[in-house]
Chains A and B, each alone.
Chain A
């Protein structure tokens, strides 16, 4: 290959993950650097390096680096270059490092000259200089300095700066590859760094762990929970490494979550084993270890990562570790990756192909995403085909076959061949479509392209083996093809078929043999073997007609060039032609040749791929790559989970335990600069309290029970109460445990109107508990109203967005005195911040045309911790359009909007029964909306219905003679249109809701709202 090549080998230690180089496709070789490299030029470079001008040095170094890039040897410059290691200019320094790392191994003695500079660098007050010194020092592969390196790594591992510690973690595998003897000492360092709490270090140290001591799974125990919790904030490359390691860890520590699903494997032996295991499991129902759950929960959001490697890592984790019912979540993310570059597609499709064999259901909804485009590269097409074939089942097979029909017409012949194979596989797997497929394939036999025909023949042969007696006409048809088809594999297949089923085509078979005998010498080897085979079978069944032909063929074969063919001929002659010498075997010749042969099983090439960890290089190659760590089988019984419990932590903590993505809202409140310290204390206490509660369980068993209980509770709570944002999940968890213990009735608030309470700084259980109770109390209406039911509070300004200021509003349902056409809105301001808020007023009202607003009077002072309320009026013009305005304080402005539920756009009106009927009579036809419904179980009495309807809309009850009917009336605020509502109840909770209103939009919306109120 004449291509121009630039090698960029960075730190080419043997353990290096990978190095990068670029190869140009076009083979132009412009050697414009050449003039630089004549030997005497080097003197020039030396001179430049010795000068005291940085610019000259830089120029020289640039040329030298260019030389290295071109693969020229620049080692004789070593002494001149190494002198500049202490150069002040950063760029020169960096380039010297590049050079040094490349040539130090060759010039060990001279390299030692530079060491003292690095040792000095390791003591520099600037963390970045310390880190870079360590980085280069550890990259110099000179055995003599191993002790120095070891010392430097140990020191750096306890450096103040997490960045230096990260560099130390990077240095570990480098030293290990240089001198494996150091393993024990390095493991000590790894152990220390694993305990590090910063996201910066986590990824790098796990990488070191994987390279140096992947077998020391015990080192992970104490750090497991921390790693799970930090994961989301680790940089993306670290995430991949950690997730892969944790997958292996989880396989050794937890029980198989699918242990009770017996239908997982069809294998007989497996089944037996499973039955045993299941019997065991029945005695003790499977309970997922909370740590197992923690891992699954904390990795799930990473499916949203933009980095394909991270998504794949999470996907394989779920595939290998999650309960069957939960694995489905990864399908969507993997399908998304199919939109990416074709290399990514290739890898992902390989993995999807493996997954579809085990868990077909998961990808079924995405069937169409695997449809093939004519522009896909062939290898992608073939993989997609594989996936489609794996996904085929009785219900979707017709769709898939229709797709396949399109593919068969493709111009890409390799792809067509693969499609034919795929059809064959569908036909064997799904009995119902076998005949359809076979007919389709037979039609392909008349295709003009020989390759297509050949492939079809091969597949048809396999299909026919399943039920030959039905299809003798197909065999006849194929016999005719021998005249035309030249592809050896296809010819061989046809001959085999005819031989095998010669009894079904007694007339044709001898004729085919006659033709073949004629062309025998010109055939390919595999065809020759099949001719011999055919001859033998015919001789046995129909020796009268074919005896001579067989003899002739065998004679031809006897003198063939290929020894396999000669051998076969000799063997068959002895077997079938009875002579004195022939032994007992020839009696059984017929049985030997015409035994019933089992039909071939067409199976996916991906069938057994899943014994490799998905997403790994080994899986991709289907061969074990160096350094591949086997994914262990699940243990029979779970090892002691208490090993993961962590002691209450020492008070001194590393700087920079900062989470970003997990804690969202905190940022707005405090800003990034202040984050470091405060957040740290959060997570610290969280882990403390957690471990505390865990330890309170006495035995491991009772503990797991308790935990699983809290697990459920937590799940429940979470779903109901998302509004309560907690900075650290763990603390939430503790609260739950506590609740369960105290058997408090945890009835979380029905969500939207809950004011999020001050949970930001909830460091302890106590505050959390307070928080919860507080949130409950907020429910009770702050404003006294004439109604019996509670007014619904809506949030106008969240305390986090409002930087401490909370504003809630409710529709007080009282006439707004300044203007009768306005809806009264009661606002409640709470100042949660530590400073006073001044001059609260509204500005910049943006309204739809016709709408009007009466502003609330300015609140001059709202002291910290105080609450104030005000009333404003809005004329919504009988529409549910939002009123947008700015809420201003003396420092800030907040955009807020008030959108009324339709039920608040009306006022009560008192009608008698007769009036109601009369009015209703006038609002028939288009103005009447009727809906049938089933009442909620708790809402089957009159009282409950009245309460729910009046809560949903500001209507008043109209007296009614029948107890099966409830009637309500009101008028819209602006246009005073009548709104009449009737709820007629029937047997068993059935009911009919009728709304009569001139304003159809209002009517429709009201029906929806009331329907919702009555059915939930």
Chain B
């Protein structure tokens, strides 16, 4: 293929997607497209792995054929693609072998012609439902003494919309001022957002990410838990000590769930001998990752992990203590205080079932030690 200037590679799990570029093209254009390809495979096959691609090599070919024309992206909305090439299901493959049918849609891809290419035409449901999940992640760096070095909240509104026809939805928030920086699915009308701070859109069918946002940095970020830690490596005797306690800090009266602690130990830590008052821990000898799965945080009885670390002898003690990565979930709470006030639907006559869920998670939550 002539001289190749550069490869843009990316991973999803164990798979690398590689694209060969010969001429000037914005790198993010390529990277973004490859991600879109990976996402499409995910949508089609449920996972994006080597076996799946090998098993479905024909569909993969057909998909790429529709997604690229002469190196220029064509149809990248999975809604449109699904209309043209049906995703494989067990039932269909059985039917296909019996009847000689195919997984290419007989219908022509009219979605591609539409001015709203993300929505299939003629959607029909018996139960019309629209669910929105407001998911917020706290990114934070907390230093040794427990002061917050950096914290911010990133959020997304994930939607699952199963509505018949061409519904035109308007989602409004109680406190849109909180949102500092937003990015939208192409279906959202910028003008309405700028003027009225409401999300007005004709949704794609099925699951999609409606919006992602950043909460303005003026607002103080509530840190839901505190970590008391003491990790030390002794100069002599090739061993170390570890003690970690986690307690609730600003939880807004909700329970912290799915609490998990990950510590990447220095290479010289051979094994650990710890006791946890709650949950269980594992130590992976090859990756040196100590994972302590705690579960629900009980404010009356704080979870504690303590014990000793045994080190490789003869190796100087590590000069840095490993940092602690936290994972947690808080149901029914958006930590920024963002609230959806209402969802209105126009354009269709039926009454949809509507629901909003809130969830707070730890994003990149790191405690330095």
Contact = CB atoms under 8 A, between A and B. Distances in A.
Given A17-B23, A306-B209, A163 B70 contact: no
A10 interface: yes
B346 to A, nearest CB: 5
A627 B24 contact: yes
Given A15-B70, A668-B168, A98 B212 contact: no
Contacts of A374: 264, 322-323, 366
A456 B174 CA distance: 54
Interface string B323-361: 101000000000000000010101100000000000000
Contacts of B182: 304
Chain A interface extent, by class: 35 or more
Given A11-B71, A54-B100, A332-B180, A236 B186 contact: yes
A129 B52 CA distance: 31
Contacts of B50: 4, 22, 24, 26
Nearest to B105: A90
Interface in A611-646: 615-618, 620-621, 625-629
Contacts of A207: 72
Contacts of B166: 671-673
Contacts of A10: 64-65, 68-69, 71
Interface string A380-410: 0000000000000000000000010010011
A664 B70 contact: no
B190 to A, nearest CB: 4
B53 A6 contact: yes
Nearest to B51: A30
A309 B16 CA distance: 20
B29 interface: yes
A19 B35 CA distance: 14
B308 interface: no
A375 B141 CA distance: 12
A980 B190 CA distance: 46
A672 B364 contact: no
B241 to A, nearest CB: 19
A154 to B, nearest CB: 18
B19 A90 contact: no
Interface in A1-42: 4, 6, 8-26, 30
Interface stretch (A142-150, A181-189, A653-661, A835-843): A653-661
Contact of B100 (A58, A665, A801): A58
Given A369-B152, A617-B27, A625-B23, A173 B168 contact: no
Contacts of B247: none
A336 B156 CA distance: 12
Nearest to A669: B346
B65 A664 contact: no
B123 to A, nearest CB: 13
Contacts of B364: 373, 375
B202 interface: yes
A335 B1 CA distance: 37
A66 interface: yes
B188 A661 contact: yes
B23 A626 contact: yes
A491 interface: no
A170 B62 contact: no
B14 A18 contact: no
Given A17-B70, A18-B21, A626 B5 contact: yes
Nearest to B103: A91
A89 B189 contact: no
Nearest to B71: A17
Interface stretch (B125-133, B273-281, B297-305, B313-321): B313-321
Interface string B35-72: 10100000000000010011001101110110011111
A284 interface: no
A95 B266 contact: no
B23 A163 contact: no
Nearest to A21: B18
Interface stretch (A114-122, A256-264, A341-349, A420-428): A341-349
Contact of A69 (B9, B16, B57): B57
B28 A615 contact: yes
A212 interface: no
Nearest to A8: B64
Nearest to A368: B150
A55 interface: yes
Nearest to A407: B320
Nearest to B25: A17
Given A25-B14, A625-B24, A617 B264 contact: no
A94 B14 contact: no
A145 to B, nearest CB: 16
A898 B261 CA distance: 49
A128 B109 contact: yes
Interface in B169-188: 170, 180-186, 188
Nearest to B318: A411
B81 interface: no
Contact of A126 (B33, B108, B217, B316): B108
Interface stretch (B113-121, B225-233, B248-256): B113-121
B214 interface: yes
A661 B209 CA distance: 17
Nearest to B351: A893
Contact of A661 (B14, B20, B149, B186): B186
A593 interface: no
A671 B26 contact: no
Contacts of B152: 369
A312 B28 contact: yes
Contact of B68 (A20, A91, A616, A671): A20
A603 B189 CA distance: 44
Interface in A765-807: 801
A332 B183 CA distance: 11
Contact of B1 (A12, A92, A344): A12
Contact of A672 (B15, B30, B115): B115
Contacts of A11: 68-71
Nearest to A301: B190
B200 interface: yes
B189 A661 contact: yes
Given A25-B15, A236-B186, A671-B347, A8 B72 contact: no
A139 B5 CA distance: 23
Contacts of B89: none
B183 A306 contact: yes
B90 interface: no
Contacts of A409: 319-320
A663 interface: yes
A14 B22 contact: yes
A573 interface: no
Contacts of A30: 54
B102 interface: yes
Nearest to A408: B320
28 contacts: A10-B69, A14-B22, A18-B33, A20-B37, A20-B68, A55-B100, A90-B104, A91-B62, A128-B112, A163-B112, A200-B113, A232-B190, A233-B115, A235-B117, A237-B33, A237-B76, A240-B29, A304-B182, A308-B31, A343-B10, A368-B150, A369-B152, A374-B366, A627-B24, A662-B191, A664-B190, A664-B200, A725-B195
Interface of B: 1-2, 5-6, 8-10, 14-35, 37, 50, 53-54, 57-58, 60-62, 64-65, 68-74, 76, 100, 102-106, 108-110, 112-113, 115-117, 139, 141, 143, 149-150, 152, 154, 166, 168, 170, 180-186, 188-192, 194-195, 200, 202, 209, 212, 214, 217, 264, 266-267, 316, 318-320, 322-323, 325, 342, 344, 346-347, 364, 366, 368
Interface of A: 4, 6, 8-26, 30, 53-55, 58, 62, 65-66, 69, 89-92, 94-95, 97-98, 126-129, 135, 139, 161-163, 167, 170, 173-174, 199-200, 204, 207, 232-233, 235-237, 240, 244, 301, 304-309, 311-313, 332-333, 335-336, 339, 341, 343-344, 347-348, 365, 368-369, 371, 373-375, 403, 406, 409-411, 447-449, 615-618, 620-621, 625-629, 656, 658, 660-665, 667-668, 671-673, 675-676, 722-723, 725, 801, 895
